[in-house]
Structure 1
Amino acid sequence: MDEIRIKQLEVFAHHGVFPEENRLGQKFVVSAVLYTDLRRAGLTDDLNHSMDYGAVCAEIQHYLTAHTFQLLETAAERLCMHLLRTLPLLRRIRLEIEKPWAPIGLPLNTASVCITRGWHTAYLALGSNLGDKKAYLDGAVQALREDEDMRMGAVSDYLVTAPYGGVEQDDFLNAVLRVDTLLPPHELLDRLHEIEQAAGRERLVHWGPRTLDLDILFYDDEIIADETLHVPHPEIPKRDFVLKPLAQIAPYLVHPVYHRTISELLDALHA
């Protein structure tokens, strides 16, 4: 990915743990690497296809002077999230905030915090087999669309499927969608649980009926296996009701464990 670099932008702001830092203010030095695709800008010589680094510098200066934080870590985190949410072409950012006048009582050139944040691509499964199933799926899609930490991508058709897991219950309505998210995997899972709870989800019977079920199928190419989260979802190759809608929106997506496309996994399931 291409880079736009901003080096040592000086900003006078009011961040710090001590009250006098918040009251009197001090100099901060900001450097950033903005990751984006500059190919179209290079071919067209048109600023609309790039990011105006002068405007980005002005936005950094405005944000850091309009807010007060105790920790550099918080200032860096909030500034990164603000820029990622407001700059449509920005995919990832590496940001360093230096504090040359850090009050530590020892000779020091500068103290700094450096973080990297960005958009990640996730594929989510949606299911419902209680009440107004379509309304529950529609509500989940809308909740994700309105979330400032999400950018909605393709949404599959809603498919009627038989229940899975051996529990006698009504048919499901299932779908899959693609979303870009600023949330790391476990925070994304927590956000999905919040949406489920808002829909009245109760976890009473394993593989039992539910108003709304949201699962993370893929998160970039990451492989995660811990007490709370398994990504890619381990049941993907066995589930027709996941592979069919996934093949609608991402047939050539490659499973990072099996190294086969979604279309190939679907064909293998029906072989």
Structure 2
Amino acid sequence: MGTIKLKNIQTYSYHGCLIEEGKIGSDYTIDLEIKTDLRKSCLSDDLKDTVDYVLLNQIVVEEMEIRSHLLEHVAQRIITRVFGEIPEVSRILLAVSKLNPPIGGDVEAVTVELEEYRS
């Protein structure tokens, strides 16, 4: 087994329960870690033998473009899509962070982290 990590993917998205959040938007960062078998690609040096991190990034960016009220919801959509489109992935650890959330305090970020295994 091996791990592929995409750290600090940055998007400007429109998630949140407040109407203003859907209009104004906010900065987000996403960390995605997947587990997969990397033994074949370690020997072959061929992209077809591994999980393409360009596709992983594309899935994250596309799902972040779809408005959700909750970070949990957008995070679950990302996980569902990765498992649905990339059968080689056996585990996903995902963190979605809203930077400078409008919660009435001096908070750098709010993060939702989900971990799921292929069933």
Q: Answer yes or no: is the 8 Å Cα contact 2:59–2:78 preserved in 1.
A: no
Question: Sequence identity, in percent?
Answer: 27
Following superposition, the deviation at residue 30 of structure 1 comes to 0.2
Q: Deviations over 1:205-252 (max 9, x none)?
A: xxxxxxxxxxxxxxxxxxxxxxxxxxxxxxxxxxxxxxxxxxxxxxxx
Q: CA RMSD in A?
A: 1.0
The answer on 1:94 being equivalent to 2:93 is yes
- Structure of greater relative contact order (alpha carbons < 8 Å, 6+ residues apart): 2
Name the counterpart of 2:80. Answer: 81
Following superposition, the deviation at residue 88 of structure 1 comes to 2.1
User: What stretches of structure 1 move > 4 A for 4+ residues in a row?
Assistant: none
Q: Answer yes or no: is the 8 Å Cα contact 1:41–1:50 preserved in 2.
A: yes
Q: Answer yes or no: is the 8 Å Cα contact 1:84–1:118 preserved in 2.
A: no
Count of residues in correspondence between the two structures: 119
The answer on 1:36 being equivalent to 2:60 is no
Name the counterpart of 1:45. Answer: 45
Q: Deviations over 1:87-136 (max 9, x none)?
A: 1211110000011121011111111000101212xxxxxxxxxxxxxxxx
Q: Answer yes or no: is the 8 Å Cα contact 2:9–2:30 preserved in 1.
A: yes
* CA distance in 2 between partners of 1:107 and 1:18 (Å): 18
Equivalent positions of 1:219-230 (< 5 A) are none
Equivalent positions of 1:97-116 (< 5 A) are 97-116=96-115
When normalised by structure 2's length, the TM-score is 0.94
**3-state DSSP class of the match of 2:106?**
coil
Following superposition, the deviation at residue 54 of structure 1 comes to 2.0
Unaligned runs of 5+ in 2: none
Equivalent positions of 1:190-229 (< 5 A) are none
* Higher gyration radius (CA): 1
Name the counterpart of 1:3. Answer: 3
When normalised by structure 1's length, the TM-score is 0.43
Q: Answer yes or no: is the 8 Å Cα contact 2:8–2:29 preserved in 1.
A: yes
Name the counterpart of 1:64. Answer: 64
Unaligned runs of 5+ in 1: 121-271
